[in-house]
Every structure is written in structure tokens, then in C-alpha cells.
Amino acid sequence: MAKRIVVDPVSRIEGHLRIEAVLDEQNIIKEAYSSGTMWRGLELILKDRDPRDAWAFTQRICGVCTTVHALASVRCVEDAIGAEIPPNARIIRNLMNATQQTQDHLVHFYHLHALDWVDVVSALSADPKATSELAQAVSPSWPKSSVGYFNDLKKRLTKFVESGQLGIFSNAYWGHKGYLLPPEANLMAVAHYLEALEFQKEIVKIHAIFGGKNPHPNYLVGGMACSIDPNSDMAINIEQLNKVKKIVDDTNTFIDQVYIPDLIAIAGFYKGWLYGGGLGNFMSYGDFPESDVDDTSSLLWPRGAILNKDLSTIHDVDPRDVNQVKEEVTHSWYTYAGGDDKPLHPSVGETTPNPGAVPKMPYKHLDTDGKYSWLKTPRWNNNPMEVGPLARVLVAYAKKVPMIVDTVNYVLKTLDVGPEALFSTLGRTAARGIECKQTAGFMTHYYDKLMANIKAGDTKVFNNEKWDPDRWPSDCKGFGYTEAPRGSLGHWIHIKDGKIKDYQIVVPSTWNASPRDSNGNSGAYEAALKGTPMANPEQPLEVLRTIHSFDPCLACASHIMDMNGNEISTVKIL
């Protein structure tokens, strides 16, 4: 009899996610099911509100990627009413977006995903001298690598363990045979975990400077809310701009001297762990416009789709096309007026919860033949798609974007693996690091462009020509997009008589964590788990590795919590 394991909730993510996996007699996952166990409902909250306030509501979907919904929302409203923004506003938005991407990738690698590969308790047996030698070999320019530094860290870690309270390192599968790093590599990784924890809070100060605060910095339909005057104490002045410069430079240093070397060092021990490739279909809306956001040829992150791992053909993507992007609710706890199996483009989408379809609590397992998730099921040209860093890197690599090509080839050469290694959990993790190096470069790029404009006398950040609703069409629709850290994000709005008539949001984790469609096709999470062998089903480390490689953010995708269920084996991870 096939075994079914339940991981609920999946930890080290934003939101609430349940994974059920069916194993064969060899403990290989043959089927998997992804369920978002919360309902969001932001689309309903936004109805009849002022479109100029939509960014403030949508941004609070999530406290992790705190700026991306605001960016997609203001683009969406500006598209609907025909508002143009000044070049400085576009540059500042891109700089804040690059900052968000970079900080998010650092947090993901060290604090959400690294513990799937790093055995913290193993570090207790590390030799500080050997760890120092390893750290200096991995990151020769990084100053925190002395014997004394690692000796002190080992003592701190030992106190954690001896007290019986591992704190932030509690509740994991220490000692699992799937961990392959030697003790010294584990101790080095723990050190960098703590350093990254301290450093990541510095990066987002850029949001506080340009957006007033973090999380949830301020945006403005028509531009940005910050004023710039290099000589004023009442605006962003030269002192604050110099702070931004230092943060940008320090970020690039940390990524070059710590993150990328760590990524390559850790990946070197797991080159054989090439499970989790999943769908083989990848999509990116693209982002970082160098001119108007509708000029997709100016996007530094290119737009496109890849099917069946075929990098020789990049398909055109147009989220406005009513025949391309559609959502269905066949296996979702929603209902459509025209039938749950009739997919809808988000511009005419519906958000009608169907709580009567939710199983009564507590339940043993999901009814995977029926409805089993608060996530809808988006499809592109009827294809399930993976979105996120791997998708963006693959599209850019296939389109021969120089920086991506050079970095990907460097990583592959250093690890002595071929491009096929990218189609895996490990490849997904590596892609995030490759992209992080690129977005840190974008931070420098946009800071330099902003300073050049300021030196030329251009400090304008807001265009008020379309601020007054009397200047809007009485009935209009708009689309706004961005590439969030976790993937393609789209907002669609319908404005009537100056108010929001309808608003729809299709987020990255809806693409990736979606339940099956009406044709039985799995979403990206479900597909990625298939074929993965498990050493110990009672300790589903392999499930966590692959799911965490997507960096789930279920707060964006859904909202209403249910209780844990039971099956042959139920695993609770705190």
C-alpha cells in the first residue's frame, strides 16, 4: 500500500502551506499535492475604493517582499488612467525594486533555505583552525575568518545546545544522512548565517530613505512621494544619498565575498542532488524598464516563456492577451458564475470563495479528486508554468543577456556541471544567487543614473497631471506587472466613475503552488516533488529542500487557516 505523508505547516515560509506526498514502495514520491490553507480576499476589500490608495492595501498582502505589490499596483493604475511618471521616479522605483530583490535573496539563502543543506549541530565538532583555513580559501578577501572568530562562535553555539534551547536553530532534522557538509563547512555557514542576519537589515534602509519606512515604503500614483534637494534638511539631501551609496557598495561586497562563494562551496557537496526539476516550463514577465514600462524591449530582465526545457525557443508573453493568462478553480475553494472549469482572464476575473467546499476540520487528508486549495490555478496558453529566479535566469540566459551568461557559465564551470544541472532544486537555488549578483549590480546602475540626473539639475519625482480623478476616463482598465523575488506578479484593475469596480491579483506563488488544473496537470511545486527519493519519510528533509527552493509566499497567494490533518504519517514542523 502506498504511503502518504503530510507536511503541515511547511515552516520557514510566509503564510500557510500544506504538502501531501504519496510514496511508492521504495519511498520515492510518485504524486504530490500542494494546498494553500488560507484565504486572502484582498480583491474584495479593494472594491469601491480610491484607485490611488490601492498600492497601500495590496502592499500589505505580505510583510516579506514589501514593495513589489505597491510597484505593480501603481503601474496598474497609471496604465488605466494614462499617467506618465518622471524619469527619476522610474529610476527610484527600479532602485527600490533591486534593493528588495537583493535583500530577499540573501534572506532566502541564509535564513529560509540554508538549513536544508547545513547541519548546525554538526558544527559543534568542527575544528576552528580548519574552519578558518576553509573560510580563507572560500572567501579570501572577507575579514571575518580568524581562528579566534570561529572559536568564539563555536563556544556560543555549544552553549545553545547544552542549554537545550537551540533558539533560531530549533526543530530541524539534525543528523539526517542527507546532510553532506563536513563540520567545518557547517560552522562557516552558521557564521555567515548570523552575519547575513545582521547585514540584511542595513540593505532595506534604502527603502526608508526613498519610501519613508520599511516594511511597506510609500509610493504615489504619478511618481514617488519623496522630494529631492541636495542642499535641504527637509528632503533627500546629499548626506542621505551618500548613505545610499555606502549601502549599495557594502551590498555588492557582501554578495561577491560571502554569498556567491558560500553558494558555490555548499553546492559543490551536493552536485549529485539533481531532483526537483519539475515542469520544465518557465515564464518571466520581465522587469527593470530603462524607459516606459510598456516598452518591453527596454527591460533589463527580459520577458518570455520556455516550454519543455527548450532554451532554443523563447515564446512571446503578453499578460494582457485574454487568451494567454487564465485562472481556473476546478480544484480550488472558489466558484465561478460561468462554471468552475471555465478559466477566466484576470481582467474579467472573479474572486468568490466557496467555503462550503472546504473539508470539515479536522480532516485526515485532502480530497485531491475535488477541491483542495485556497489557491486558484493560473495557466499560460493552457500550460502550467514555473516562475521565479530560475525562470528569469533561464529566459535571460537563452536570450544571451551578457551578465547572466557570464555568471551562469562561471558557476557551471566552477562546479564542473553542465547546463542540465539548472533544471533541479539545486539549479533553482543557484539561480537565486546568480540573480542576486545581478540585482546588486542594478543597485549601482540605478544609483549612478539618479545621481547623474540630480547633478544635471533634474530633481523631479512626481507628475500631477493625472492626479485629479476628473481627468480620468469614466470607465477604464489597466494592467501592472513586476517580477517579485518569487516570480511574475500581475495586477489588473477596472476603474469606473473614479472608484475600483474590480481588482485581480495573480501572484508568483499562485503560479508555483497551484493545485491541478481541469486536465489533471500539476502545478510547479507538485511536479517538482515527483520522483524524489526520501531517506526517511518521518523526516521529510527532501520535501523541504525542493519546496524551500521556490521560497513560498502563501500570504500573497491565499488567507483563512484550517487545522492540521492526519494520514499514515503526519509531520509537523515548527
What residues are labeled active site?
14, 62, 65, 69, 486, 509, 553, 556
User: Do 437 and 253 touch, CB atoms closer than 8 A?
Assistant: no
Q: Which residues contact 367 (CB under 8 A, 6 or more apart)?
A: 359
* HEC profile of 186-207: HHHHHHHHHHHHHHHHHHCHHH
Nine-digit cell string for 504: 485581480
Q: Whole-angstrom distance between the N-terminal and C-terminal Cα of the chain?
A: 29
Dist CA 464 CA 223 (whole Å): 9
The upper half-sphere exposure of residue 526, i.e. CA atoms within 13 Å in the direction of its Cβ, equals 24
Nine-digit cell string for 294: 510598456
Which of 523, 574, 561 lies closest to 33, judged by CA? Answer: 523
Please report which residue ranges of 416-521 form alpha helices under DSSP H. Answer: 425-455, 508-513
User: Do 507 and 42 touch, CB atoms closer than 8 A?
Assistant: no
Q: Which residue has the cell 488560507?
A: 38
User: Do 52 and 72 touch, CB atoms closer than 8 A?
Assistant: no
β-pairing, 3-7 with 569-571? parallel
Q: Which residue has the cell 497631471?
A: 465
Dist CA 140 CA 407 (whole Å): 19
Which of 549, 515, 553, 537 lies closest to 7, judged by CA? Answer: 537
Dist CA 410 CA 432 (whole Å): 15
Nine-digit cell string for 414: 566552477
Nine-digit cell string for 190: 552558521
Q: Which residue has the cell 503552488?
A: 513
User: Do 244 and 206 touch, CB atoms closer than 8 A?
Assistant: yes
- Give strand ranges (E) for 472-568: 475-484, 487-496, 499-506
CA angle at residue 345 from 298 to 291, to 5 degrees? 15
Q: Which residues contact 168 (CB under 8 A, 6 or more apart)?
A: none
| 183-203 and 238-254 helices, crossing angle to 10° | 160
Residue 162 burial by CB count (10 A; 0-12/13-18/19+): exposed, middle or buried? exposed
Dist CA 156 CA 412 (whole Å): 36
Peptide bond into 261 cis (omega under 30): no
Phi, psi of 341 (to 5 degrees): -95, 10
Nine-digit cell string for 141: 578577501
H/E element holding 73? helix 68-81
Torsion of Cα atoms, 285 then 289 then 294 then 297, to 10°: -80
